[in-house]
Amino acid sequence: MELRVIAIVAGIFFCSDVSAQTPAWSIQPNICVAQRVGDECQLTFRIETQNMPAEPLCLFLDGQLINCSKNSYVSKETSISINKNVLIELKNKAQKTIVSKKLLVKYLDLHDHRRRVRPPWSLF
Amino acid sequence: MFVSSTIVACSADDTCIQKSSWHLGIAFGVGVKTNPLVDGDNIPLVILPDIAWYADKAYFDNGELGYQWLNQAHIAFESFIQFDQERAFFSFLHPANILLPTSGVAPESPIISGEDIKSPQYNLSIDDIANRKWAINGGIRGHYFLSNGEWQLTFQQDISNVHKGQQVGIEYNHRWQWFDFRFGLRTGANWKSARLIDYYYGVSRRDTPFTELYFNGQSGWQPYMSINAQKPINENWSWLANIGYRRLPSSLTSSPLIEQNSIQKIFLGIAYRF
């Protein structure tokens, strides 16, 4: 019985220790609402980070550099303009992705667009 | 390498279209679609149009006129008519028709008995055979949509009484994005009926008196795969690349009209969206 309790406690401690070491972030808000498909959507979000490595980190939006920090990433507000879902990533100097997340675009008016039945440029 | 996989939204890409407005595009570049027919000319792909118009239910999309009965988040179903593409291989820009007199292996006169003359060759030029007509197909198609992909099942029937044949198609296409690049992978197979194959690729007395060249086309499956890539340059211009491969079945390649067992397509160019 004691052994089982020790194992459970050790497991909880180990898991919490691992999560404490894993870099994590939150981006709020991460959904941008546009009027209709194709419209540019302005999104101002705030990044909160946890357990970031103590090294310079850069923020990328679909592979495009947004900004960098000299040391461990500092949380701050960032404004972007997007017209489709994009991938936002935090990378180190070796271009290794530390954390990543999708930023989504939702539309108020989807009724004036349809999916195409055939792929584009498919005449031949 | 930084690889990411994001959901391609129904947004500014080409897979969604605004209702009741023409969707026009033209691509310039270099490319070719091979022609498996004997003396058939490869189809040069220099200018590619992209023409579509969609209403609430009806649509026209690159030569296909249709009506979509059902269009939900995960499934869609439509009926349509379109020209049978098989005929295109028989008519495109024959240099022999433009530059040279006909010099086929078969005699000009159909009254010579094939039993009396031994043909020195076993292939038959399409310049020397009877005309094949364009057929119009009527069809139905079902879609099952996934987050980044789509399954399609299609049935087509010749409604113009040209060959009275059918074809069935199953296809999966997958779309993904890598940085600015948009990729599309299509893979599937078409089953074409014996009537269809025999009308276009069969050889009979209508084509030549040489009985040893006679051929009855049989039904068969044609698997295919293609990859499409597009990279936007600005709001109107984008780079466009496409490569495709279609395998022809032995029930078709045994025809004396056929000299290749596959159809390949490649295009690299720049596209303008109006």
Residue B63 resides in a domain: yes
Domain tally, chain B: 1
Global pTM reads 0.67
Structural domain of B131: 22-92+120-273
3-state secondary structure of A62: coil
* Closest chain B C-alpha to A41 CA, distance in angstroms: 12
| Bond into A29 cis (ω within 30) | yes
Flag whether B195 is in a domain: yes
The pLDDT value recorded for residue B137 is 97
Cβ contact, residue pair A114, B51, below 8 Å: no
**Host domain of residue A100:** 24-109
| Residues in chain A, pLDDT under 50 | 10, 12-19
Q: Dump pLDDT digits (tens) for B161-189.
A: 999 999 999 999 999 888 889 999 999 99
Mutate to test the interface with B, among A30, A61, A117, A123 (most CBs of B within 10 A): A117
In a domain, B98, yes or no: no
ipTM of the complex: 0.78
> Is residue B124 assigned to a domain?
yes
Residue A38 belongs to some domain of the structure? yes
Q: Which residues of B touch A83 (CB under 8 A)?
A: 11-12
Residue B99 lies in a domain: no
Q: Are B48 and A124 in contact (CB under 8 A)?
A: yes
Number of compact structural domains in chain A: 1
Burial annotation B250-259 (CB, 10 A radius, 16+ → b, else e): ebbbebbbbe
Q: Is A116 in contact with B16 (Cβ distance < 8 A)? A: yes
In this prediction, residue B243 carries a pLDDT of: 96
Interface touch A113/B45, C-beta < 8 Å: no
Do the chains contact at B45 and A116, CB–CB below 8 Å?
no
Q: Is residue A13 part of a domain?
A: no
Measure CB to CB from residue A117 to each of B7, B61, B228 and give the nearest one. B61
CB contact under 8 A, B18 and A115: no
Tell me which residues of chain B have a pLDDT lower than 50: 1-9, 11-12, 94-120
Question: For residue A17, which amino acid is it?
Answer: D
CATH assignment of the domain containing B184? 2.40.160.40
Residue-level pLDDT at B256 = 93
Task: Report pLDDT for B13.
Answer: 62
To which residue do tokens 């022609």 refer? B35
Give the CATH number of the domain where residue A88 resides: 2.60.40
Cβ atoms A28, A38 nearer than 8 A? no
In a domain, B255, yes or no: yes
